[in-house]
Amino acid sequence: SELRKRLIEAFTDAGGEFLSGQHLAEIAGCSRTAVWKHIEELRKEGFVFEAVKRKGYKILQTPEKVSADEISLGLKTAFLGRTIHYEESVSSTQKIAHRLVTDGVSDGTVVVAEEQTSGKGRMDRQWHSPKYSGVWMSVILKPNLPPPRAPQLTLVAAVAVVQAIEELTGLMPQIKWPNDILVGGKKVTGILTELQADSDRIKAVIIGIGINVNQQYEDFPEELLHTASSLAIESGKPISRASLIQSVLSRLEKLYITYLQNGFHPIKLLWESYAISIGKNIIARTLTGEIKGKALGITEDGVLMIEQEDGAVRQVYSADILLEND
């Protein structure tokens, strides 16, 4: 709107200084309440403001897009993300990636969107993916491997994301098997790995990575407030999504090459160094029931081992994990 344009111009002229609500109201020709509402709207579009009582508002960041150009500029990979498929708004980047695989795209193609209207979690759950505030991407890999090896790639991706978050924010994320990345006990990232395969060979794995980056508390739906967080909330500063994507891709490429050349073992060691649940009492909710016991670690295949009270060790291929004191 015209009014919002005037507000943006005022902030641009202010060059990073605080502008009082009163002053903004005069410039825009509206009430202070209306100014506040428009600022909320701008925040939803990716502007980041700091609001301080009696000082007013200061602009911290204008919306940064994660277009192919923005990601390519400065990307240090050999093949990962060399082809980027970018969209403003999609239902799910996974869906697009599946279609691209069927059409025959090259190994390492990445699909990125500013927003997902029905982002997918595991087991048909939803992944909340608001506009301009997160990394919503799908990475297409075509390893020459049998299908049962695919879950290991989820763990490869988890290590890459943890390392990228550490690099960009200084935070110390932890991994909850198999695919949750937590900061301060709250979920900041989810990973969903899907397959296209013949009976004995993987045609493509599609690794969906969702990272909460610049959301503020108000951007999360009520039901996620206690379990989810964003990198901006946890680190107290906005994070460049394009830089984060570049870092994830370059780390993922390195780890993936290590994995193909040397197998899962080196990845397993890294993964365990970030794992939160190992050695703790957990409950694994699987499709067929609950398994309770102590998480011993993961096998050389990436499968979770749980020691039950009677001493029996169970292997868990897919489950949701609760720490017993959660």
* Helices 241-262 & 265-274 angle (0-180, nearest 10): 140
CA-angle at 234, arms to 133 and 124, nearest 5°: 55
DSSP assignment string, 4-25? HHHHHHHHHHHTT--B-HHHHH
Q: Closer CB to ligand BTX, residue 6 or residue 187?
A: 187
Q: Closer CB to ligand BTX, residue 154 or residue 250?
A: 154
Distance of CA 134 to the CA centre of its chain: 7
Copy the structure tokens of residue 250.
Answer: 């370059």
Binding residues for biotin: 116, 187
Copy the structure tokens of residue 239.
Answer: 């994070």
d(CA 54, CA 75): 42
Q: Closer CB to ligand BTX, residue 20 or residue 67?
A: 67
**193 φ/ψ angles, rounded to the nearest 5 degrees:** -105, 125
Q: Closer CB to ligand BTX, residue 19 or residue 84?
A: 84
Provide the minimum distance between the beta carbon of 175 and ligand BTX in the complex, in angstroms, as a whole number: 12
Provide the minimum distance between the beta carbon of 227 and ligand BTX in the complex, in angstroms, as a whole number: 6
| Total residue count of the chain as it appears in this document | 326
Burial status of residue 33 (CB atoms within 10 A of its CB: 0-12, 13-18, 19 or more):
exposed
Q: Closer CB to ligand BTX, residue 123 or residue 312?
A: 123
| E strand intervals along the chain | 48-52, 56-61, 84-90, 110-120, 126-129, 134-141, 174-176, 180-183, 186-197, 202-212, 281-286, 289-298, 304-307, 313-316, 320-323
Provide the minimum distance between the beta carbon of 138 and ligand BTX in the complex, in angstroms, as a whole number: 5
Interface residues toward ligand BTX, by CB under 6 A: 92-94, 116, 119-123, 125-129, 136-138, 179, 187, 190-192, 208-210, 212, 224, 228
Provide the minimum distance between the beta carbon of 229 and ligand BTX in the complex, in angstroms, as a whole number: 8
Burial status of residue 287 (CB atoms within 10 A of its CB: 0-12, 13-18, 19 or more):
exposed
Q: Closer CB to ligand BTX, residue 64 or residue 320?
A: 320
Q: Closer CB to ligand BTX, residue 99 or residue 201?
A: 99
Provide the minimum distance between the beta carbon of 296 and ligand BTX in the complex, in angstroms, as a whole number: 22
Provide the minimum distance between the beta carbon of 116 and ligand BTX in the complex, in angstroms, as a whole number: 6
Provide the minimum distance between the beta carbon of 98 and ligand BTX in the complex, in angstroms, as a whole number: 10
